[in-house]
Amino acid sequence: MRRSGYGLCPIGPREQLTSATYAPSVPIRVLLVEDETDIVSPLVRTLEREDYAVDQAVSGRAALAAVTRAGPDVVILDLGLPDLDGLEVCRTLRASGYEGAVLILSGRSAELDRVVGLDAGADDYLAKPFGVAELLARLRAVLRRTSGRAPAAGGRRLEVDRDAHRVQVDGTEVALTGKEFEVLALLADHRGKVVSRAQLMSEVWSEGWYGSTKTLDVTMGRLRQKLELAGPTDRIVTVRGVGFRLEG
C-alpha cells in the first residue's frame, strides 16, 4: 500500500519485519498522533502485531492530554495536525517534562526541516513516504536510547578500517558518506573518551569552517541512524555541553 508522496511504502511478507522484534512482559506504550486515517489504520495494525500497546490522537491538544493521562514510552508525531503544529506539540511536551521518546513523521524532508525537528526535542525524524520496516527499526532504536527496553544487539561488533575507508558490523559493510566516516573514525580513535564538538568540527570540517555547527548534529543524526539499523553493540553517546563518546 502506498499514499503517493506522503504515506506508506509497500512492504514484503511479515517475516521481513519481525527478525528483530520482541515481546516484553509489559507492553511498550506508543501514542500515535496522526489525523490521516489511511495512514493510521495500517500503522496501528502493524504496531499491535509487533506487540506494542497503541493509543491514538488526531490533534495536537488531544496528544498533549493523552501524554498527561497515559504516559506513553514513545510518541510518534505527525507535524501536519489540524489544530497545532507538531513542532509546537513537541516543544510543549519537552517543556512539560516528558522524558519519553519522540519520533517525528513528516512530509517536510529538507535538511533544515530535520534540524528544526530535532532542535524542538525529537529523538528522530522520518520523512514521508517511508517503509514500515524502517519505521519499526527507528522505533526500536529510539527506545534503546531513551528507555533501554528495546532488544540488545547480541554482541555485534563495530569495526572501523581507516586504511580501507570501510565500516563493518559483523562483516557486513555499513555505507557511510565521507563526513559520516570521518566523524565515526575520530570517535573510534578515542573510544570510551569524549571528543569535543570543537575537535570534531576542526578535524572533520577543518579549522576554516565558518558554517553552522548544526551541520555536525545532522551528520551525527544520520550516522546514529545507520549504526542503529546495522545493530552493533557500540553506540554514540551525547555528553551534553561537551561532545560525543563512542561506547561498546
60-114 pLDDT per residue, tens: 999 999 999 989 999 999 999 999 999 999 999 999 999 999 999 998 888 899 9
Mean pLDDT for 167-196 is 91
The pLDDT score that the predictor gives to residue 24 is 42
With beta carbons less than 8 A apart as the criterion, state whether 131 and 9 touch.
yes
Tell me the percentage of the chain whose pLDDT exceeds 70: 83
For 111-150, write each residue's pLDDT tens digit. 899 999 999 999 999 998 888 778 888 898 888 887 766 5
Where are the chain's structural domains?
Answer: 14-146, 158-247
- The mean pLDDT value of the chain amounts to 82
Q: Looking at residue 223, what is its pLDDT?
A: 93
The partner residues of 163 in beta bridges, in order of sequence, read none
- Cα separation, 125 vs 106, whole angstroms: 8
Least confident interval from 5-9, 90-94, 108-112, 182-186:
5-9
Q: Find the range with the poorest average confidence among 10-24, 25-39, 115-129.
A: 10-24
Average pLDDT over residues 156-169: 87
- The pLDDT assigned to 211 comes to 60
Beta bridge partners of 238: 244
Instruction: Check: pTM over 0.95? Answer yes or no.
Output: no
CATH topology of domain 158-247: Arc Repressor Mutant, subunit A (1.10.10)
pLDDT exceeds cutoff 50 at 5: no
DSSP-assigned beta bridge partners for residue 32:
56, 76
Is the pLDDT at 17 greater than 90? The verdict is no
Query: Quick one: cell of 40?
Result: 493510521
CA atoms in the 13 A half-sphere facing the CB of 7? 16
Same fold, 14-146 and 158-247: no
Higher pLDDT, 51 or 105: 105
> Candidates 3.40.50.620, 3.40.50.510, 3.40.50.2300, 3.40.50.360; correct CATH number of 14-146?
3.40.50.2300
